[in-house]
Amino acid sequence: MKIKNKSNILEMIESLSKQYGPVCCLSLPFGNKMIIVSGYEAVNELLTCPGMGEDRPPFSQDNPDELLKGLGIIMSSGEQWKEHRKFSLTVLRGFGVGKRSFEDQIATEIAYLMKEIESTQGQPFEPTRLLCNAVSNVICAVVFGKRFEYDDPEFKHLLHWLERTLALDDLVNILYLLMPTFSLYLARIPFFPQGNMSSWRSLRSKLQDIVDEHRRTFDNDNMRDYIDVYLSEMQKKNDQGTQTYLSDVELRAVIQDFFVAGTETTSTTLRFALLYMIKFPDVQKRVQEEIDSVVGRDRLPRLSDKPDLPYTQAVIHEIQRFGSSVFSTLRYAKHDTEFLDFTIPKGSVMQNNLHSATRDASVWEEPDAFKPERFLDDKGQVVKPSQHIVFGAGKRACLGEQLARMEIFICYTHLMHRFSFKKATEGETLDLKPNPAFVLTPSPYNTCAIVR
């Protein structure tokens, strides 16, 4: 079953909240129910609620299909999730992620991106693939210990499978969004449409090949990347007889989480960024003028310039709010919980509409307008309200937030310093409405990059 209008799912969920309020229950086939939470107050409350804010819906650890086990970081809960989150944060910091020393590594990758864009010679091009290549290579360098050439067939396959895993254009994928556990069982029925499940499995198989290669070339005295450190720590704990959730199957799931989450959300934000600069050329011009006045034309922007670029920071905040890429995340009630004016029964699955929190009229004046000035005070200094929760909130806030913020600032400012982005065709109407998937994306568009 193909969805002709991909906005239907997002519109359906948002229309339910308008009709029934910020908390409503959707009855689904086979006795499934989904509690939908919308609006800033309810979403923030859910994300920080001790009884529901930390857990995902349960999966069967005994199931032979890894997709049904709740492995890794994104879909795990409890001690399993805590150990992997703590370990991963430690490893990422050890490799410099979140520190200014990591800036040069990101800037080097963006230099490859700018070279590719410059090669278009001002002719129309679709930026999705190039932005995805650059962002993915940053996380690949940390997790896999290597970057890929943009025309590498292996890299192209990885990114293709990534794109398909997050699509929301057939029945199975929509069922997964609304009934995650049950739909995964449906996908195992012979001849049942596989949707994005086959892409998940293809991606997982390729990542296993990468892990196998690391095992063959492993050197305990030379930790090249996240995989090496994981293998070393897993062996250490096994030798000591220490109880741990670190395992081969978990490693494959964790690096899949890193690859998917570390690529798609950041590259999508940058796609929105270019789209908005084309749509609002006055904003683009003002950003470029501010960067030029602080940085000049002889060097590229650096993180140390950030405090002197308040308008540029405000524009980035507004890009993230207006083009909020995360549509929904799932939570699970471990026990009966009082939530706002409701009692949520134990075992309830909650769908948290994070996108609605970024468009809540009770929080954001003219929420459907692109207004970077909302993030500036009366002195022209940047401010970020606590309601700006594009990376989530609570203990399950995005693990890669620091890396994502670094990448977005460096990539956006470098592109604004080097190019002016324009419509591919004068008079072209640009569609700003996001396409719903597991990550909200802009409709495909072409642009021309003019070297400044």
Q: Dump the DSSP string for 393-420.
A: -GGGS-TTHHHHHHHHHHHHHHHHHHEE
Question: Given a cut of 50, is residue 88 above it in pLDDT?
Answer: yes
Largest CA distance in the chain: 67
Q: Mean pLDDT over residues 428-449, rounded?
A: 85
Share above pLDDT 70 across residues of the chain, in percent, rounded to a whole number? 85
Instruction: In whole angstroms, give the CA distance from residue 399 to residue 420.
Output: 33
Q: How confident is the model at residue 113 (pLDDT cuts 50, 70, 90)?
A: very high
Q: Cα torsion at 271, 139, 410, 364 (round to 10°)?
A: 50
Instruction: In whole angstroms, give the CA distance from residue 25 to residue 438.
Output: 20
Q: Is the dihedral of CA 163, 164, 170, 173 positive or negative?
A: negative
Query: Burial, 295: exposed, middle or buried (Cβ in 10 Å; 0-12, 13-18, 19+)?
Result: middle
Instruction: In whole angstroms, give the CA distance from residue 425 to residue 442.
Output: 18
> Strands 33-37, 349-352: parallel, antiparallel or unpaired by DSSP?
parallel
Q: What is the pLDDT of residue 190?
A: 55
Q: Let me know: does 37 contact 43? Beta carbons within 8 Å.
A: yes
Q: What is the pLDDT of residue 2?
A: 41
In whole angstroms, what separates CA 3 from the centre of its chain? 23
What digits encode the pLDDT tens for the residues 155-196? 988 888 777 766 655 555 555 555 555 555 555 555 544 555
Backbone angles phi, psi at 441, to 5 degrees: -125, 155
Which amino acid, 248? D
Q: What is the pLDDT of residue 177?
A: 55
CA nearest 133: which of 100, 161, 156, 107? 156
Q: How confident is the model at residue 57 (pLDDT cuts 50, 70, 90)?
A: confident
What digits encode the pLDDT tens for the residues 124-137? 999 999 999 999 99
Q: What is the pLDDT of residue 13?
A: 77
Q: What is the pLDDT of residue 41?
A: 94
Q: Let me know: does 286 contact 294? Beta carbons within 8 Å.
A: no
Q: What is the pLDDT of residue 247?
A: 93
Which of 206-215, 257-266, 269-278 has the lowest average pLDDT?
257-266
What digits encode the pLDDT tens for the residues 217-266? 999 999 999 999 999 999 999 999 999 999 999 999 999 889 888 888 89
Containing 15, the helix (H) or strand (E) segment is helix 8-20
Average pLDDT, the chain: 86
In degrees, rounded to 5, the angle at the alpha carbon of residue 122 between the alpha carbons of residues 116 and 128 is 50
Query: Burial, 363: exposed, middle or buried (Cβ in 10 Å; 0-12, 13-18, 19+)?
Result: middle
Residue 233 or residue 440, greater confidence: 233
Q: How confident is the model at residue 11 (pLDDT cuts 50, 70, 90)?
A: confident
Q: Mean pLDDT over residues 327-345, rounded?
A: 84
Question: Given a cut of 90, is residue 429 above it in pLDDT?
Answer: no
Q: Mean pLDDT over residues 389-405, rounded?
A: 90
Q: Mean pLDDT over residues 332-358, rounded?
A: 87
What digits encode the pLDDT tens for the residues 67-78? 556 788 988 888
Q: Mean pLDDT over residues 100-122, rounded?
A: 94
Q: What is the pLDDT of residue 7?
A: 46
Q: Mean pLDDT over residues 283-306, rounded?
A: 97
Q: Cα torsion at 265, 266, 268, 273 (round to 10°)?
A: 140
In the chain, what are the domains?
A: 8-445 (1.10.630.10)
